[in-house]
């Protein structure tokens, strides 16, 4: 069983930087497992992404449909605009009675069907559902406040 978490992260680009909470799996930053400069919408210093953070957490909890037509959920977004047309690192979220599985990770845009090359693949993760929901609902409470 894997363990989902978050940790303070920073992404930088010409003329800017963003501080946010990045996803971790078993203590390893997801951004290190898959090479990307994208970021989560879980900003530490920008309230402009609050609605996106709430929507993403709700999608990961299964309370809202996915970001994409195929039901997949975006984990990391473009750091400049958050537009799914720029691409996002996405995942299929599957709920079991006691587990939540993240599988079929990959790069995706909102204007083409998901067909990711192997270079961005991560094998997947299986989380204890109670611990998963506790973490995400705690985060959701913080971003709704």
Where do the structural domains in the chain lie, given as residue ranges? 4-144
pLDDT tens by residue, 56-115: 999 999 999 999 999 999 998 887 778 888 888 899 999 999 999 999 888 888 888 777
Stated length of the chain: 145
Asked if residues 135 and 100 have their Cβ atoms less than 8 Å apart, the reply is no
Report the pLDDT value the prediction gives residue 118, as an integer from 0 to 100: 63
Q: Which residues, other chains included, contact 98 with Cβ-Cβ below 8 Å and sequence gap of 6+?
A: 128, 129, 130
Segment 129-144 shows an average pLDDT of: 96
Report the pLDDT value the prediction gives residue 82, as an integer from 0 to 100: 80
Q: pLDDT higher for 36 or 126? A: 126
Segment 37-65 shows an average pLDDT of: 90
Listed residue (73, 40, 77, 43) closest to 58, CA to CA: 73
Q: pLDDT higher for 127 or 111? A: 127
C-alpha distance across the termini of the chain, in Å = 31
Q: pLDDT higher for 128 or 110? A: 128
Segment 115-120 shows an average pLDDT of: 64
Report the pLDDT value the prediction gives residue 126, as an integer from 0 to 100: 97
Report the pLDDT value the prediction gives residue 133, as an integer from 0 to 100: 98
């Amino acid at each position: 069983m894997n363990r989902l978490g978050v940790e303070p992260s920073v992404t930088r680009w010409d003329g800017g930087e963003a501080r946010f909470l990045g996803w971790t799996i078993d203590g390893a930053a997801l951004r290190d497992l898959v090479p990307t400069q994208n970021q989560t919408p879980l900003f530490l210093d920008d309230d402009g992404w609050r609605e996106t953070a709430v929507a993403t957490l709700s999608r990961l909890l299964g309370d809202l449909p996915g970001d994409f037509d195929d039901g997949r959920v975006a984990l990391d977004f473009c750091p400049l605009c958050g537009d799914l047309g720029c691409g996002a690192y996405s995942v299929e979220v599957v709920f079991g009675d006691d587990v939540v599985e993240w599988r079929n990770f990959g790069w995706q845009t909102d204007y083409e069907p998901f067909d990711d090359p192997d270079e961005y693949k991560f094998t997947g993760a299986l989380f204890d559902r109670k611990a998963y929901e506790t973490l995400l609902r705690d985060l959701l409470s913080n971003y709704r406040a």
